[in-house]
Amino acid sequence: MSKPLILVSNDDGITSKGIRVLVSIMKKLGEVVVVAPDSPQSGMGHAITIGETLRLYDEDIFDGIAAYKSSGTPADCVKLAKHYVLKDRTPDLVVSGINHGSNTSISVLYSGTMSAAIEGALEGYPSIGFSLCDYSSKADFSHVEEWVEKIARQVLENGIPKGIALNVNFPPKQNEDIKGIKVCRQADAKWQEEFSERFDPTGRKYFWMAGNFVNFDKGEDNDEWAIANNYVSIVPCQYDLTAYHAITQMNKNWDWEKLK
């Protein structure tokens, strides 16, 4: 029986610590192929490269595992994997990460990590995005490795509904063990940005974005609560952004006849 084919990508770049940890775990589960950005692509969302060259190079850094680095975005990497690297082979699993930093709540929309997973789901592949809520480049992943393996095994054995990607976030390492897993919704939260106006050495104006993450959610069934209480959060995500409840409300309450 052949091993499962597992495609690995990320948004922190092919040399990041997180992807090295993820590759080492996935090697236990199947045949691994890596296609990842050649540099950090955090916050790229689901951007793709249009009107510019897209480059792909072999990268021999994972001890005999086929690996490629791309000048493109995380979504580009999954597309290149499908159309060029894997060609007529279909991955049994797409995994992205492990991201250095949280992708809970609204951050899923900005996340390059999750864009790779969602691109996999778009293609019909079972897909997972893994993130550790620790932004340090030297973050300790040791406490999440067994959980990554368990979750990936579950998906390989049981599958995921078509069109769904799992957004998995882990709490940073603490003195106590992770309590367990919460399959939940994304929290009602947002980034409140601030823009600092600055000037470069030539006197030209530029802006530097900063801000704070604000959680409005008081519930206990969301990813922010899970992470704050030392649980792994798993949010099933879909690329269909249709607000179905709004269709009913708009057809009922809006007078479309006036627009004719």
Inside any domain, residue 214: no
Q: Helix (H, G, I), strand (E, B), or coil: what is residue 222?
A: strand
pLDDT at residue 257 is higher than 90: no
The per-residue pLDDT for 1 is 67
| Nearest one of 28, 16, 42 to 93, comparing CA atoms | 28
Domain ranges, residue 66:
5-187+220-259
**11 labelled ligand-binding:** yes
CA distance 70 to 72: 5
Residue 208 lies in a domain: no
CATH number for position 12: 3.40.1210.10
Q: How confident is the model at residue 47 (pLDDT cuts 50, 70, 90)?
A: very high
- In a domain, residue 140? The reply is yes
Q: Is residue 194 part of a domain?
A: no
Q: Please count the CA atoms within 13 angstroms of the CA of 226 that sit on its side-chain side.
A: 25
- Kindly state whether residue 15 falls inside one of the protein's structural domains: yes
Write the pLDDT tens digit of every residue in 82-138: 999 999 999 999 999 999 999 999 999 999 999 999 999 999 999 999 999 999 888
Q: Give me the number of domains the chain comprises.
A: 1
Strand partners, 169: 131, 233
Q: Is 107 assigned to a binding site?
A: no
pLDDT surpassing 70 at residue 166: yes
**Is 215 contained in some domain?**
no
**Would residue 120 count as lying in a domain?**
yes
204 within some domain = no
What pLDDT does residue 92 have? 98
What dihedral do alpha carbons 119, 122, 123, 125 form, nearest 10°?
80
Q: Residue 256's pLDDT band (boundaries 50, 70, 90)?
A: confident
pLDDT digits (tens, 9 = 90+) for 174-209: 889 999 999 999 999 999 889 999 999 999 999 999
Please indicate if the annotation marks 42 as binding a ligand: yes
